[in-house]
Amino acid sequence: MCVFRKQSVFSKNVKYKKKQNELKINFLKVDFLNTIIIVAAATILFYFFVSNSIFKYIFLKKQLKILKSQLTHIRQENKKLEEEIYLLQTDTDTIEYYIRKELNYKKPNEKVLIIK
């Protein structure tokens, strides 16, 4: 009886080890799937946060270039207007020119032609 008992314990032990190995394999499969899911989630998060930031950076860099060019243009225009103001404050010929041009004034015995 003792011999049978040892065999049955041995066979139970073998069955137990087989089940343990199956559980380890199943656990490894589940662990592998979890790893794939985590990597996929990390990739998606990377795409939304990092690539979105890269696109935003490129967009803002283009906007900065446009705004710098507009600023340069406005500064040039401002400089011209300052020169014009200075001439209007100091030069009588310039004042006369603008009065004739903007207000359509004329000297006596002079004719004005307006072409549209």
In a domain, 115, yes or no: no
* Reported pTM: 0.48
- Nearest residue to 74 via CA among 82, 38, 104: 82
- The mean pLDDT of 79-87, rounded to a whole number, is 95
Overall average pLDDT of the 52-81 stretch: 94
Cα–Cα distance for residue pair 100/110, rounded to 1 Å: 11
Structure token digits, residue 5: 């008992």
Residue 116 lies in a domain: no
- Residue 113 lies inside a defined structural domain of this protein: no
CA proximity to 94, closest of 84, 103, 107, 79: 84
Within-domain flag for 8: yes
Residue 114 covered by a domain = no
Structural domain of 78: 2-103
Provide the domain count of the chain: 1
Q: Per-residue pLDDT for 24 more than 70?
A: no
* DSSP 3-state of 109: coil
Confidence check: pLDDT of 50 > 70: yes
Confidence of residue 116 (pLDDT cuts 50, 70, 90): confident
